[in-house]
A and B are shown apart, each in its own frame.
Chain A
Amino acid sequence: MNAIALEGVTRSFCGRRVLRGVSAAAAAGRVVGLLGRNGEGKTTLMRILLDILEADAGTVEVLGRRPDGSGELRRRVGYVPERPSFHDFMTLGEALDLRRRLFPSWNREKAASLAAHLGLELSARVSAASKGTLGKLAWVCAAAHEPDLFLLDEPTSGLDALVRDDLLSNLISELHGSGKTFLIANHRMEELSGLLDEVWLLHGGAVAVHDAEALRTQARRVTGRPKAGGEAAPSGALRLPGVGALAEYAVFGKEDEARLLADGLLEGAESRPMPLSETLKVLLMSSGGAL
């Protein structure tokens, strides 16, 4: 069963089309990285999945249910927003308490142990809490009600290295044996590259799905001197910004690599494996992320 199923999802704001026909699906238990530049619609997509925003067109199914505006869907989804916000007159403990009363599946022991594990002082005031503390609190709020789907929007941005470590460890613990699905938007994909099962690249309002394993093992960078008359990139290869007289291409898979070398466009071509973070950057830069 798919945890997330999107088909032709479109959404505009004030006449500007942010999402144009997004179609993608995530099976249960997968870890999906949502990649895209700022303003491309990552947060919009998440809000649609959360049933806070309605798609103008297309079908959305989250954990087998269609969003209906009642908020029921959010009972089974754990969300960490880009900027976590809480009622600033509350203490951390009261914030957790409020959610305990509103989420039917809230696990009190888990909330307490998570909070303790992350070093949260429950009597501290939200208004006096640091960004790191709020980030940790957001994580506890997202995880304590045992959701089947996690939507994390830049969960580690602006947090110091130790807090990031803590959150990632917790994330991995959640993953273990649970069948829970994760959709994570993170700018620093290196942090997550060991975790990802697939990557959704959001560009131009559409999503291109890539298997993370395939990208990791098959992406290669080919460098060489371009022969005269060879400017156009052959199919299956992405032209990268070169250094001086050299030209660089990114290829995915042995076939494409062989074709590029056989084309005879390059002299003295060298081929190296491309690290995942570079691959993702390349995909981001290229238009549409098409291969």
Chain B
Amino acid sequence: MIQIDPESSVAINDQIKAGLRGLVARGLLRPGDEAPSIRSLAVRLRVNPNTVARAFRELTLEGFFEARRGEGNVIAEAALRNVKKGLGNLAGGLAEAVRLAHRGGLGWPDIEAVVKDVRREEP
């Protein structure tokens, strides 16, 4: 399930969107699956249902969700593709950051320590 940090400086609806995309990326949600209902997700995450509704609207605009008649929101076919592309971008961005750090003077052990720290924080 997705995690929300209400204290974080990232807007909650962005966190929701990122969380759902992550689920699709990890294969836990597949195209054709029903999206969780706004209400149940809001209760689960302890957030304002309006915020969840906004996230869903934006995801639908993005093409992540499809509205199927009589079934509500459903993960779209294109979702997996977009997420994979997004992941690719993320991976590329991470590689770039590592390259910059190494060239900037951070040793490999230091770089690996950073990764370890973050992993510990974000399981």
Instruction: Indicate whether A and B interact.
Output: yes
Known contacts: A29-B50, A197-B48. The answer to whether A172 contacts B7 by CB under 8 A is: no
- Residues in A161-219 with C-beta less than 8 Å from chain B: 168-169, 172-173, 175-177, 190-191, 193-197, 213, 216-219
Interface size class, chain B: 10 to 19
Pick the contact of B43 from A173, A177, A191, A220 — CB < 8 Å? Answer: A173
Minimum C-beta distance from B67 to chain A (A):
17
By a CB distance below 8 angstroms, the chain B residues around A175 are 42, 48-50
The yes or no answer to A2 lying at the interface (CB within 8 A) is no
- Residues in B1-48 with C-beta less than 8 Å from chain A: 4, 6-12, 38-39, 42-43, 45-48
The total of Cβ contacts below 8 Å across the A-B interface reads: 64
Known contacts: A169-B43, A175-B42. The answer to whether A275 contacts B8 by CB under 8 A is: yes
A274 touches B9 (CB 8 A): yes
Minimum C-beta distance from B17 to chain A (A):
15
The yes or no answer to A31 lying at the interface (CB within 8 A) is yes
By a CB distance below 8 angstroms, the chain A residues around B47 are 172, 194-195
By a CB distance below 8 angstroms, the chain A residues around B39 are 172-173, 176
A275 touches B49 (CB 8 A): no
Minimum C-beta distance from B30 to chain A (A):
26
Name the residue among B8, B9, B11 with the largest chain A CB count within 10 angstroms: B9
Docked CA distance A275–B11 (Å): 12
A196 touches B9 (CB 8 A): no
Interface residue tally for chain A (C-beta within 8 Å): 28
- Residues in A229-276 with C-beta less than 8 Å from chain B: 273-276
Residue of B nearest to A272 (CB): B9
The yes or no answer to A277 lying at the interface (CB within 8 A) is yes
By a CB distance below 8 angstroms, the chain A residues around B46 are 168, 172, 191, 194-195
Pick the contact of B4 from A190, A194, A275 — CB < 8 Å? Answer: A194
Docked CA distance A218–B12 (Å): 13
Docked CA distance A274–B7 (Å): 8
By a CB distance below 8 angstroms, the chain B residues around A169 are 43
Minimum C-beta distance from B39 to chain A (A):
5
A217 touches B11 (CB 8 A): yes
A176 touches B8 (CB 8 A): no
Docked CA distance A29–B9 (Å): 24
B45 touches A194 (CB 8 A): yes
By a CB distance below 8 angstroms, the chain B residues around A278 are 7
Docked CA distance A275–B7 (Å): 4
A196 touches B11 (CB 8 A): no
Pick the contact of B7 from A173, A193, A220 — CB < 8 Å? Answer: A193
The 4 A-B residue pairs with the shortest CB-CB distance, nearest first, are A275-B7, A273-B9, A194-B47, A194-B6
- 19 residue pairs of the A-B complex, CB under 8 angstroms, read A29-B50, A168-B46, A172-B39, A175-B49, A176-B39, A176-B49, A193-B6, A194-B4, A194-B45, A194-B47, A197-B50, A213-B11, A216-B8, A216-B12, A217-B10, A217-B11, A218-B9, A219-B9, A273-B8
5 extra A-B contacts, CB within 8 A, seeds A31-B48, A273-B8: A29-B50, A173-B43, A190-B6, A194-B47, A197-B48
